[in-house]
């Protein structure tokens, strides 16, 4: 049996059944069978307070009632992460429907399937007609997060390369109201998805008289074409590929103008575009790179030889002037078709089914063509080469729960992670599958250059730091290195390349994701000490002269800034922190609060609060490079709440009576 640790301290999942007296016998029959299979199951009368209590306790709630009763009783927070909520609504003609209202990806799918097994193994009676049709016990799992037994797929988690757009909630509510799904489906399958069963739904509804009884409740469109008639739900495959050729210096706006015109002419959804392709010669073309980044389209490149093969295979038009400039007689059409290659499968020829959707269109500086693949193409399956990507990631205070979503996503997608060994150690199991490159403290430039080198090899690389990569992190160093390299290249004289082979260096796209800096993490623990103007000053004189640090502290003291002191002291640096506190003490009231936060967001987190007048001698063992010191200004107050000391800095707000 599946381990449901999120819902029970036991190794077995805990379910709470709620049923009115009229259906309690049904609930007890199923609960008895579930209990015999190893589940922790309890049956309760249908009561709103009891439902809410079970939900808050983390048990999977199963109601033998109308969905609306559970919707009103459950204190929802995030339906993607909430405990599972399912129900058996009363339905007609002997059928049974199990609605998954929430928590499908948080255990609801396992609960639903287990209940279905329990229903089947409980030998539920079925009539002869149902047995003859092969529909068995007629328990349909529907609704909420996934509709696998009805629609054949999950609306919250469609297959890779597909997106769900439109009124998904409305469609799910329609499923919850009716045991069948009266709908009109327009479009066509792509690469075997959606399953044929999905397209049979409308005809099944008609056969059973649902269309006459309810009318067509929902309209669902499937495919990459634009839907001019209103559809409640659209299932869009990313199967259209865009080939682009351009002269040197073509702007992003010029590329966008022709591409949008092609989209309109071909009548396609922008969401259906799997990616953009061009010839390798255009790896550094600024307008093309900016256009792909702005639209969020994956960008891939093919050699002139590969594109020439596509020209021959598909008998594409050829232009001598294009071949002289790029090495291939056709760029846009050949690149679109090369990108539309379907992943190779057993018994299927590589690239089978790719076809030209829109032939080459030209503007003054740009050419564009569209092709369509025989199946949806997620970015991970696209053919061609890509430019390197270096993502600058700050881990936040320490715990994975306090990382930004962008940082977590970058770690999941990375192929290589470079970082100081102490930061790499903060990664939790499963956060990344990338190859890890660790180095000791003090080798910052080495790490930055190594990360750039990996990205130039075409790897999706992450350069790791703590907090926010742009706050006392390596982001500034990376940009400095890139700027210096660019300056050097602009002054290089042209010379012939040596005959020796050298590694190909791809252009690097540098991305920077926001993080949570230590001062924000400590401020969140304390209350609102940064509620008014504040500044951050590092007391490390390794990279900044001591004279400059002292000048900045004096300016912050005179300006009455709340001050966050990073790197306050180390084993060898002992003088600057006492001096900084003395300078601030001369311009602050004696009771101005000072907070010391050590290892914020980590296992041995420690926060202490004192007044500025009481902080004379700083304990060398408790304040180190892992400590952040926040000194309040003249308006920072201390509030001793029942839960500990809290700080807030007044900003002039006034409470108004009414």
The pLDDT tens digits for 598-616 are 988 888 888 999 999 888 6
Q: What is the pLDDT of residue 122?
A: 61
**Which range (34-48, 236-250, 287-301) has the least confidence?**
34-48
pLDDT-derived band at 97 (thresholds 50, 70, 90) equals low
Q: Model confidence over 517-569: pLDDT tens digits?
A: 999 999 999 999 999 999 999 999 888 999 999 999 999 999 999 999 999 98
Residue pair 350/229 in contact (Cβ under 8 Å)? The answer is no
Measured over the CA atoms of residue 203, residue 205, residue 210 and residue 214, the dihedral's sign is: negative
Q: Specify the pLDDT at position 221.
A: 84
Q: Where does the chain hold its CATH 3.40.50.11220 domain(s)?
A: 1-149
The answer on pLDDT for 595 being more than 80 is yes
* Per-residue model confidence (pLDDT) at position 297: 93
112 confidence band (pLDDT: 50, 70, 90): confident
Q: Which helix (H) or strand (E) holds 301?
A: strand 299-302
3-state DSSP call for residue 387?
A: coil
For the ranges 155-169, 247-261, 352-366, 564-578, the lowest mean pLDDT is seen at 155-169
- Which pTM value belongs to this model? 0.64
Task: Give the residue-averaged pLDDT of 183-200.
Answer: 74
Q: How many CA atoms lie within 13 A of 445 on its CB side?
A: 4
Query: Which residues have C-beta within 8 Å of that of residue 642, sequence separation ≥ 6?
Result: none
Please tell me the distance from the alpha carbon of residue 544 to that of residue 33, in angstroms, as a whole number.
71
User: What pLDDT was estimated at residue 27?
Assistant: 85
Helix H or strand E segment including 454: helix 444-456
In our burial notation (b when 16+ CB lie closer than 10 A, e otherwise), range 31-43 reads: bebbeeeebbbeb
Q: What is the DSSP string of 97-159?
A: EEEEEE-GGGTHHHHHHHHHHHHHHTT----HHHHHHT-TT-EEEESTT--TTTTSS-SSSPP
CATH 3.40.1010.10 occupies which residues in the chain?
Answer: 388-487+504-512
pLDDT at residue 427 greater than cutoff 50: yes
Which H or E run contains 321? helix 320-326
DSSP string, 50-106: HHHHHHHTTPEEEESS-HHHHHHHS--S-TTTSPPEEE----STT-EEEEEEE-GGG
CB 44 within 8 A of CB 17: yes
d(Cα 451, Cα 418) in Å, to the nearest integer? Answer: 6
Nearest to 565 by CA among 599, 541, 535: 535
Cα separation of the two ends of the chain: 59
What does the pLDDT read at residue 390? 94
Name the more confident of 572 and 11: 572
State the pLDDT at residue 130.
38
In terms of DSSP bridges, do strands 416-420 and 435-439 run parallel, antiparallel, or are they unpaired?
parallel
CATH architecture of 518-649: 2-Layer Sandwich (3.30)
How, if at all, do strands 366-372 and 218-222 pair? unpaired
Q: Who has greater pLDDT, 145 or 272?
A: 272
User: CB of 624 within 8 A of CB of 598?
Assistant: yes
What is the C-alpha separation between 165 and 472, in angstroms, rounded?
A: 41
Q: How far is the CA of 382 from the CAs of 159, 284, 292, 301, 421, in angstroms?
A: 16, 20, 15, 11, 33
Residue 405's pLDDT band (boundaries 50, 70, 90)? confident
Task: Please tell me which of 27-36, 130-139, 342-351 the model is most confident about, judged by mean pLDDT.
Answer: 27-36
Task: Kindly tell me the number of DSSP H helices and DSSP E strands found in the chain.
Answer: 21, 28
Residues 6+ positions from 130 with CB-CB distance below 8 Å:
136, 138
204 or 408: which carries more pLDDT confidence? 408
CB 566 within 8 A of CB 467: no
Q: What is the pLDDT of residue 344?
A: 64
- Label residues 93-118 b or e (16+ Cβ within 10 Å = b): eeebbbbbbbbbbbbbbbbbebbbeb
Q: How many Cβ atoms sit within 10 Å of the Cβ of residue 121?
A: 12
pLDDT over 70 (residue 9):
no
Which CATH superfamily hosts domain 388-487+504-512?
Tetrapyrrole methylase, N-terminal domain (3.40.1010.10)
pLDDT for residue 648 is more than 80: yes
Judged on CB neighbours under 10 Å (0-12, 13-18, 19+), 511 is middle
Instruction: Identify the residue with better confidence: 33 or 628.
Output: 628
238-343+351-381, what's its fold?
Nucleotidyltransferase; domain 5 (3.30.420)
Q: Is the pLDDT of residue 655 over 60?
A: no
pLDDT at 393 over 90: yes
Tell me what pLDDT residue 107 has: 67
CATH topology of domain 1-149: Rossmann fold (3.40.50)
Per-residue pLDDT, averaged over 337-361, amounts to 75
Q: What is the pLDDT of residue 624?
A: 84
Task: Give dist(CA 308, CA 302) in Å, integer.
Answer: 10
Q: Decide if pLDDT at 346 tops 50.
A: no
């Amino acid at each position: 049996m599946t381990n449901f640790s999120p819902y029970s301290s036991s190794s077995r999942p805990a379910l709470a059944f709620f049923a009115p007296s009229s259906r309690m016998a049904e609930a007890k029959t199923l609960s008895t069978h579930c209990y015999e299979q190893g589940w922790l199951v309890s049956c309760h009368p249908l009561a709103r307070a009891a439902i809410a209590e079970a939900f808050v306790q983390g048990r999977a709630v199963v109601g033998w009632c109308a969905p609306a009763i559970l919707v009103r009783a459950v204190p929802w927070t995030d339906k993607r992460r909430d405990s599972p909520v399912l129900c058996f609504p009363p339905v007609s003609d002997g059928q049974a429907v199990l609605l998954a209202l929430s928590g499908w990806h948080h255990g609801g799918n396992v609960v639903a399937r287990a209940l279905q097994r329990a229903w089947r193994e409980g030998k539920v009676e079925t009539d002869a007609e149902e047995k003859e049709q092969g529909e068995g016990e007629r328990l349909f799992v529907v609704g909420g997060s996934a509709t696998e037994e009805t629609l054949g797929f999950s609306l919250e988690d469609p297959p890779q390369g597909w997106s769900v757009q439109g009124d998904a909630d409305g469609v799910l509510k329609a499923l919850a109201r009716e045991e069948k799904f009266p709908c009109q489906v327009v479009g066509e399958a792509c690469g075997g998805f959606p399953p044929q069963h999905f397209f049979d739904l409308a005809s099944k509804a008609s056969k059973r008289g649902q269309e006459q009884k309810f009318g067509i409740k929902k309209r669902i469109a499937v495919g990459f074409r634009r839907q001019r008639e209103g559809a409640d739900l659209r299932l869009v495959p990313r199967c259209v590929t865009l080939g682009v050729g351009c002269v040197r210096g073509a702007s992003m706006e010029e590329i966008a103008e022709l591409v949008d015109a092609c989209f309109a002419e071909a009548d396609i959804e922008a969401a259906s575009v799997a990616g953009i392709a061009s010839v390798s010669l255009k790896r550094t073309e600024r307008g093309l790179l900016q256009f792909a980044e702005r639209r969020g389209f994956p960008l891939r490149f093919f050699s002139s030889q590969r594109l020439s093969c596509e020209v021959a295979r598909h008998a594409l038009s050829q232009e001598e002037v294009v071949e002289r400039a790029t090495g291939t007689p056709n760029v846009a059409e050949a690149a679109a078709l090369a990108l539309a290659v379907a992943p190779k499968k057993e018994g299927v020829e590589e690239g089978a089914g790719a076809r030209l959707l829109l032939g080459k269109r030209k503007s003054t500086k740009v050419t564009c063509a569209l092709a369509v693949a025989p199946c949806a193409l997620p970015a991970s399956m696209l053919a061609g080469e890509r430019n390197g990507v270096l993502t600058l990631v700050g881990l936040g205070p320490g715990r994975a729960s306090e990382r930004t979503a962008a940082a977590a996503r970058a770690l999941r997608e990375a192929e290589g992670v470079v970082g100081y060994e102490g930061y790499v150690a903060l990664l939790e199991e499963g956060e990344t599958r990338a190859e890890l490159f660790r180095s000791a403290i003090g080798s910052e430039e080495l790490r930055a250059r190594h990360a750039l080198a990996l990205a130039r090899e075409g790897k999706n690389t992450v350069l790791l730091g703590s907090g926010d990569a742009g706050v006392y992190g390596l982001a500034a160093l990376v940009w400095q290195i890139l700027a210096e390299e660019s300056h050097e290249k602009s002054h290089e004289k042209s010379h012939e390349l040596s005959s020796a082979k050298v590694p190909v260096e791809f252009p690097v796209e540098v991305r920077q994701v926001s993080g949570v800096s230590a001062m924000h993490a400590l401020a969140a623990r304390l209350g609102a000490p940064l509620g008014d103007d504040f500044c951050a000053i590092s007391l490390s004189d390794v990279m900044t002269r001591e004279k400059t640090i002292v000048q900045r502290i004096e300016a912050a003291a005179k300006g009455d800034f709340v001050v966050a002191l990073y790197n306050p002291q180390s084993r060898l640096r002992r003088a600057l922190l006492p001096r900084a506190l003395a300078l601030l003490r001369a311009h602050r009231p004696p009771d101005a609060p000072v907070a010391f936060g050590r290892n914020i967001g980590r296992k041995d987190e420690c926060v202490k609060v004192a007044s500025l007048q009481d902080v004379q001698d700083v304990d060398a063992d408790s304040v180190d490079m892992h400590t952040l010191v926040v000194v309040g200004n003249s308006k920072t107050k201390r509030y001793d709440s029942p839960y500990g000391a809290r700080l807030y800095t007044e900003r002039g707000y006034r409470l108004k009576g009414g």
